[in-house]
Structure 1
Amino acid sequence: MTLLQTHPRSTGTKPVHRTVADAMDAAGPQVWDDMTVEVALSVMAAARTGHLVVCDEDGQYTALVTRARLAAVRNGSAYTDRVRLRDIAGGDGSFASPTTPVAEAEQAMRDRQLGALPVVDEHGNALGVLARSFFSARSR
Structure 2
Amino acid sequence: MKENKKITILLICFLLLIVTPFVVLILNNKGGKMIDKFFEAYNSQERTLIYLGRPTCPACVKFKPILDEVKDEYGIDYVYINTDQVTNKELNKILNSMNLTTSNFGTPYTIIAENGIIVDEITGYVEKDSLVATLKKGNIIQK
Per the normalisation by structure 1, the TM-score is: 0.23
Q: What TM-score, normalized to structure 2?
A: 0.23
